[in-house]
């Protein structure tokens, strides 16, 4: 049974769930890197690390990387990242979260969608974009010719900011290593950032972001083409902006050599 005081139990539950999923997919063996077998715990913390004369010591985070690009290795790397997110206390958001929201989807996606941070529904379910904004995002993904499970959906911060406020710069900075590690493992062909905060969080050096000016213009992140567009929550308040988002998605599809499927009539 999971309790906040039992992070190891949660890691084990996550790992068991992940292995059960693999088994359902017909996988009977998994490859472990030498590093993993020699060092079973990914977090380098010990009770004696907890305090030092200079104050609490934040354990160094060793974020796992995929040993190679096989789906099994990428899934293992993603599960490792999710396990670290589950026990993260690097910013204040951990104090008010119900569940961490690492993000979910295909392990070798063409597209990685990046939002701002979990809302109330996501915080309860531990899944990214499952509320009203998520339903709109799902419709967009389907209209583009994908299923939700074909893409990966993540956020800049993995814990809900209270009252759905914008994540603070230090919260985004603390969380960014997780998203970076996810990008490195997933190797998406395209990243789509949803809203100004997602772009600001992923490319902090850009400073204040004017999404109305930047949307629809290709950028790159770690040599991956990045398309900034509006956040689905903005579209719920301002439906005509859907046309801009659709044009941005047509650019994404063009880059991927795809065309949207014909619109179903009726």
Using CB under 6 A, list all residues that contact ligand URA.
115-119, 122, 128-129, 131, 133-134, 155
Beta strands in 50-151 (DSSP E): 51-52, 55-56, 104-105, 111-115
Nearest approach, Cβ of residue 138 and ligand URA (Å): 12
Pick 77 or 198: Cβ nearer ligand URA:
198
51 pairs with which residues across the strands?
56
Closest chain position to ligand URA (CB): 115
Best CA proximity match to 122, nearest among 151, 140, 97: 97
Q: Which is nearer to ligand URA, 22 or 221 (CB)?
A: 221
Which secondary-structure segment (H or E) carries 83? helix 71-86
In the complex with ligand URA, which residue's Cβ is closer, 22 or 215? 215
Minimal distance in Å, beta carbon 118 to ligand URA? Answer: 5
CB of 129 to ligand URA, least distance (A): 4
| Cβ count near 258 (within 10 Å) | 14
Residue among 110 and 122 whose Cβ is closer to ligand URA: 122
């Amino acid at each position: 049974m999971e309790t906040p005081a039992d992070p190891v139990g949660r890691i084990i539950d996550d790992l068991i769930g992940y292995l059960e999923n693999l088994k359902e997919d017909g996988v009977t063996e998994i490859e472990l890197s030498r590093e993993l077998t020699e060092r079973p715990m990914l977090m380098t913390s010990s009770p004696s690390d907890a305090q030092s004369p200079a104050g609490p010591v934040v354990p160094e985070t060793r974020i796992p990387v995929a040993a190679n690009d096989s789906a099994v290795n990428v899934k293992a790397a993603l599960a490792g990242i999710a396990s670290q997110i589950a026990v993260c206390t690097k910013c204040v958001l951990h104090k008010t979260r119900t569940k961490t929201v690492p993000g979910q989807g295909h392990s070798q996606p063409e597209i990685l969608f990046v939002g701002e941070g979990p809302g109330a529904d996501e915080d309860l379910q531990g899944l990214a974009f499952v509320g009203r904004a998520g339903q709109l995002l799902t419709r967009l993904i389907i209209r583009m010719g994908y299923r939700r499970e074909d893409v990966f959906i993540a956020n800049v911060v993995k814990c809900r900011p209270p009252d759905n406020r914008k994540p603070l710069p230090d919260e985004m900075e603390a969380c960014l290593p997780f998203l970076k590690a996810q990008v490195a493992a997933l190797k998406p062909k395209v990243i789509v950032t949803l809203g100004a905060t997602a772009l600001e969080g992923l490319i902090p050096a850009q400073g204040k972001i004017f999404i109305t000016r930047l949307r629809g213009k290709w950028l790159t992140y770690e040599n991956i083409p990045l398309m900034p567009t509006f956040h689905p929550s903005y579209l719920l308040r301002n439906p005509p902006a859907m046309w801009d988002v659709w044009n941005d998605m047509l650019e994404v599809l063009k880059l991927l050599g795809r065309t949207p499927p014909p619109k179903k009539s009726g």
